[in-house]
């Protein structure tokens, strides 16, 4: 999944403002498309965004797809000193769903990639974790200056 496309799409959703609570649903469809839906957390019938793009040409289908979840500021130009920031970015109560049911995100249904990420030892320090419950919730700050 192209994170630049995802970041660009978020910039085009005027309802996404500081403090807005949303519900995000992303999945790989059987036809090889990745679909991403953003819903108003207070009213699931209010769809803020619904878009998809083809990933089947990369051999990605429901049987082999992996998603990496992290709160981050994505930029196509990779400028980590542009003054952008995000304080107290949070997700909570994360669940994984399948055709056979659902479960909270845990060590039993995910890989071990979690925590602070960066592209090198300098910009990884621009991310600070305020709090987390391992696997299913997190609050972070990211400062690009």
Predicted structure pTM score: 0.67
Task: Please give the residue range of the domain that contains residue 142.
Answer: 71-145
Q: Residue 24: which H helix or E strand, with range?
A: strand 22-28
Considering the domain architecture, whether residues 81 and 130 belong to the same structural domain is answered as yes
Q: How many C-beta atoms lie closer than 10 Å to residue 108's C-beta? A: 8
The two counts, helices (H) then strands (E), for the chain are 1, 8
Q: Are residues 75 and 63 in the same domain?
A: no
Give yes or no: residues 84 and 136 share one domain.
yes
Q: What is the largest CA-CA distance in the chain?
A: 45
pLDDT of residue 44: 92
Of 43, 67, 91, the position where a domain reaches its end is: 67
Could you tell me if 89 and 141 lie in one domain? Answer: yes
- Counting the structural domains of the chain, the total is 2
- The 10s digit of each residue's pLDDT in 62-80 is 888 877 666 666 666 677 7
Asked if residue 53 lies in contact with residue 36, where contact means CB atoms within 8 angstroms, the answer is no
- Do 81 and 97 have their domain in common? yes
């Amino acid at each position: 999944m192209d994170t630049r496309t995802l970041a660009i799409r978020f910039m085009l959703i005027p309802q996404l403002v500081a403090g807005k609570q949303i519900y995000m649903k992303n999945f790989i469809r059987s036809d090889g498309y990745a679909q991403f839906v953003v819903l108003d957390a207070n009213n699931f019938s209010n769809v803020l965004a619904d878009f998809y793009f083809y990933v089947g040409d990369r051999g990605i289908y429901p049987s082999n797809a992996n998603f990496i979840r992290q709160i981050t500021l994505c930029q196509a130009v990779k400028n980590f000193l542009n003054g952008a920031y995000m304080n107290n970015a949070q997700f909570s109560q994360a669940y994984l769903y399948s055709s056979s049911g659902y479960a909270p995100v845990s060590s039993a249904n995910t890989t071990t990639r979690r925590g602070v990420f960066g592209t090198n030892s300098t910009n990884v320090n621009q991310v600070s974790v305020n709090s987390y419950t391992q696997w299913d919730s997190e609050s972070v700050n990211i400062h690009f200056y």
